[in-house]
Amino acid sequence: MRQTVYITGHKKPDTDSIMSAIAYADLKNRLGEYEAIPIRLGKLSQESRFVLDYFGVKPPEIKESMKLTVGDLSFDKGTIIDPSIPIRKAWDTFQKGATNSLTVVDNDGEIVGIASLSNITKSYMDVWDDRILGRAHTPVDNIIDVLAAKIIYLGEEDPTFPGRMMVFAMGGSKEDLKDIFTDGDIVIAGNRTDYDIILKQNISLLILTNGTGLSDEVIEIAKENKVAVISTEYNTFMTSRLLPMTIPVSQVMTTENLIYFKTDDTLDVVRDAMAKSRFRSYPVVDATKKVVGSVSRYHLISSNKKKLILVDHNERNQSIDDIDEAEIIEIIDHHRVANILTTSPVFFRAEPVGSTATIISEMYLESGIRPSREIAGILCAAIISDTLLFRSPTTTDTDKRILDRMSKIAGINPEEFADKMFRAGTSLKGKSAKDLIEGDIKTFTIGDANVRVGQVFTMNPEELVPIMDDLKKQMAAKIKERGEDTFVLVLTDIFNQRSELLVVGEYYDDIQEEFGELTPNGTINAEGVLSRKKQVIPKLTAAIIKA
């Protein structure tokens, strides 16, 4: 079995983190090195969701802990049995040596008990009760199975066994034998001539030994008296020994204080429970409560840490919270090298390129494996996202070369795709006026004025038109409540390097004069303006000071 490795990007994952984790897991799986599983440490962004939908790729599972769970152990395959099977069959299973406890489940697959070797042996040593078969509601099928018996006569209804187990070894007349029997007895007998006497004693079952048969006449008597008759090849001694072993496992299994584990229980929980109990093994159930195996103390000894590969980050505070529970085996990143400590040597690949997806793409090319159309597509999306389609100063020639190659495999036009992706990623649909004015907000004192400046990144400022009146009303209410003078909401389109300003309150005309013309959306155009700190505030300052 290949080892499992988890691959994750950073917290608050962006498109590069998500797509790099998925693509690198795909590469690892195709190289056959590991069973690689991409995971994520937070919510998918609007942009990432668009990309995954666009290429039809499944999002990584969210995972919040690297603690080992029962599912990570190579525990034993469980043997599950029905509560009605004879203890003899359970014993046979133990003799095969595969397990030392059997999980007893009902028809719905839910655990009703656990039968261990000691349950079975104890029950056999304890049986001095000659009415145990009846008390244990033993089905006649169990007796037939364990004795490998042939049915000679079985009535329409299966017999019950309210009497004792007895061997009929005596001779004599009908009168002499009267007191030997009680109602409902199970009678074991060899080759005799007086079956008619036995069959008329209101017994429940006659077991013939040494393969003895009955004449048709005698079978008729059995039918008339409603006595079931079976015949076994075992001799009388062996038959007597085996008969108590026909009782169902439900009679001897442990049903109180059952301890079993779920596959997602952490090993802390398991160790704790095992320390407080003395069972040899414990059933393991999956999320649907179905038994999937059994776990014993020795499975814990060899448990290794979970293996983890970090992509698009190498700082511990950006990674999974309990990262120390994991063994980091690789890091693929394009950020500064910071403060991850590893216990053993790792494969560390860092390149000063525009995105981690660029490095993962290189690794595909280096390994001679051609990514699928979908994987090439998500890699393109990640490169475009992190480099803002080469507008970001972090862009390198490598990013350009790789995007060119990958976009051909993916069959996309990078410019067209970038426009679609950034629009989808920054869509304001579904956002309320309240979301927008409570988002990324800072307040500034400029001269005598207190100015509230919010910034929203969007390529779709026109989506605000339907809520514009409500938005302005709420902005006005906000500054009134705070005793501030002006509210400026900056709608920034990084991709096209421009912003639009929605201004409410004092200094409106001065601000408009400073920035530019009105747009069709009723906002103030601010070409080339991207940074609140470096561009918006200096211009606001100029406008307000002039006023």
> Which residues would be at the binding site for Mn ion (CB under 5 A)?
16, 312, 356, 386
Return the closest-CA partner of residue 340 out of 351, 356, 329, 355: 329
> In angstroms, what is the minimal distance from the CB of 318 to Mn ion?
11
Q: Which is nearer to Mn ion, 356 or 455 (CB)?
A: 356
Helix segments in 215-319, DSSP class H: 216-224, 236-242, 267-275, 297-301
Q: Which is nearer to Mn ion, 296 or 356 (CB)?
A: 356
Q: Shortest gap between Cβ of 8 and Mn ion (angstroms)?
A: 13
Residue placing its CB nearer to Mn ion in the complex, 159 or 377: 377
Q: Least CB distance from residue 22 to Mn ion, whole Å?
A: 14
Contact criterion met (CB below 8 Å) for 285 and 264: no
Report, in Å, the least distance between residue 401 CB and Mn ion.
18
The residue among 76 and 312 lying less far from Mn ion, judged by its C-beta, is 312
Q: Do the beta carbons of residue 231 and residue 208 sit within 8 Å?
A: yes
Count Cβ atoms below 10 Å from residue 413 Cβ, excluding itself: 11
If the CB atoms of residues 338 and 477 are measured against Mn ion, the closer one turns out to be 338
Nearer to Mn ion, 354 or 377 (CB): 354
Q: In whole angstroms, how close is the CB of 20 to Mn ion at the nearest point?
A: 7
Smallest gap from residue 39 Cβ to Mn ion (A)? 17
The secondary element (H helix, E strand) that includes residue 186 is strand 186-189
Structure tokens of 198? 């036995």
Q: Report the C-alpha gap between 253 and 103 in whole angstroms.
A: 9
Alpha-carbon separation of residue 29 from 274, 281, 312, 360 (angstroms): 35, 33, 19, 14
Nearer to Mn ion, 294 or 314 (CB): 314
Measured from the CB of residue 402, what is the shortest distance to Mn ion in angstroms? 14
Q: Which is nearer to Mn ion, 9 or 505 (CB)?
A: 9
Residue with tokens 């795909």: 26
Least distance (Å) between residue 9 CB and Mn ion: 8
Pull the structure tokens for residue 331.
């890091």
CA distance to 353, 438, 494, per residue, from 392 (Å) = 11, 28, 10
CA distance 185 to 524: 101
**Distance of closest approach, residue 32 Cβ to Mn ion, in angstroms:** 27
Shortest approach of Mn ion to residue 357 CB, angstroms?
Answer: 8
Q: CB-wise, 386 or 463, nearer to Mn ion? A: 386
Partners of 266 in the beta sheet? 69
d(CA 529, CA 500): 9
Beta carbon of residue 338, minimum distance to Mn ion (angstroms, whole number): 14
Smaller CB distance to Mn ion: residue 179 or 397?
Answer: 397
β-strand 111-116 against 101-105: which pairing, if any? antiparallel
Between CA 229 and CA 213 the distance in angstroms is: 10
Give the nearer residue to Mn ion in terms of CB position, either 313 or 452.
313
Instruction: State the helix-helix crossing angle for 373-387 and 414-425, rounded to 10 degrees.
Output: 70
| Closest separation in Å from C-beta 16 to Mn ion | 3
Q: How far is the CB of 315 from Mn ion (least distance, A)?
A: 13
Chain centroid to CA 201: how far? 62
Q: How far apart are the first and last CA of the chain?
A: 75
Whose structure tokens read 């996202």? Answer: 385
Structure tokens at 372: 């699928």
Tokens in use for 314?
């190498």
Pick 368 or 393: Cβ nearer Mn ion: 393
Residue nearest to Mn ion (CB): 16
CB burial of 296-306 (b: ≥16 within 10 Å; e: otherwise) equals beebbeeeeeb
- Which of residues 52 and 489 has its CB atom nearest to Mn ion in the complex? 52
∠ at Cα 274 (273, 280), nearest 5°?
Answer: 140
DSSP strand pairing (165-167 vs 150-153): unpaired
Number of CB atoms found within 10 A of residue 536's CB = 23
| Short-list 430, 334, 355, 384, CA closest to 47 | 384
Degrees, nearest 5: CA angle 426-527-388: 40
